[in-house]
Amino acid sequence: MLKNKILKKFTLPLVFGIILTGTISAVASANDYKSIITHRQGIYDVMAGHMKVLKSILFMGNDNISSVNYHAKSILEAAKHHGKAFPKGSDKGKTAALPAIWEKPDEFKAAGQKLGKALQNFIAVSEMAEKDDLKELQGAFKKVGGACKSCHEKFREDD
Ligand code: HEC
């Protein structure tokens, strides 16, 4: 059973969380903020690109189900390369990052960990899924999307 295999995978230690939000305590010089903001936005864009491709496969009938695992893993890889994405002071400039990130660092970190867990589950499902497991894949994808959204609602300015 796919579900049992996934549960087994879940007993592996969780290693994500901090990597998804980077450390928010490091302090950078004013000149660094521009590069930091551009970098973190670029990483989010990469993640969003994979989400878009996944949507085409899982909900629009694009026949690339064998690529789902690649895209799932790539979102996590991108997140790992966030680095020190939110140093204090990087709320200035062309950014949609809300002050809540620095006011409620624990909540922000938890929002990153939520995404980490959802991605770990999605990767596990996609490693074992066959074509007829589309529903499982869709469910796991939605959890990832939900984790993106719930962080944005609290910590990102509306467009
Ligand atoms: C822990 C919180 C958090 C999580 C989880 C999160 N985001 Fe974001 N995201 C942000 C913040 C904060 C910004 C604003 C960054 C800025 O403008 O400096 C942002 C910005 C973005 C942007 C706009 C980038 C740009 O070019 O301005 C996109 C697209 C995006 N996120 C997609 C995603 C996707 C897709 C996921 C899930 C796979 C995700 N995010 C998960 C907090 C999060």
The CATH number of residue 143's host domain is 1.20.120.10
Number of domains in the chain: 1
The rounded distance, in Å, linking the Cα atoms of 12 and 121 is: 11
Question: What backbone torsions phi and psi does residue 149 show, to the nearest 5 degrees?
Answer: -65, -45
Residue 118's H or E segment, with its range, is helix 105-128
Q: Which atom number of ligand 1 is nearest to the Cα of residue 75?
A: 38
Q: Which atom number of ligand 1 is nearest to the Cα of residue 115?
A: 5
The rounded distance, in Å, linking the Cα atoms of 70 and 80 is: 15
Q: Identify the domain containing residue 31 by its residue range.
A: 2-155
User: Residues lining ligand 1, judged by CB closer than 6 Å?
Assistant: 21, 37, 40-41, 44-45, 47-48, 51, 75, 95-97, 108, 111-112, 115, 144, 147-148, 151-152, 155-156
Question: pLDDT per residue over 26-53, tens digit each?
Answer: 555 656 799 999 999 999 999 999 999 9
The rounded distance, in Å, linking the Cα atoms of 66 and 73 is: 13
Question: pLDDT per residue over 85-132, tens digit each?
Answer: 999 999 989 999 999 999 999 999 999 999 999 999 999 999 998 877
**By C-alpha distance, which of 41, 103, 107 is closest to 78?**
41
3-state secondary structure of 159: coil
| Number of other residues whose CB lies within 10 A of the CB of residue 59 | 12
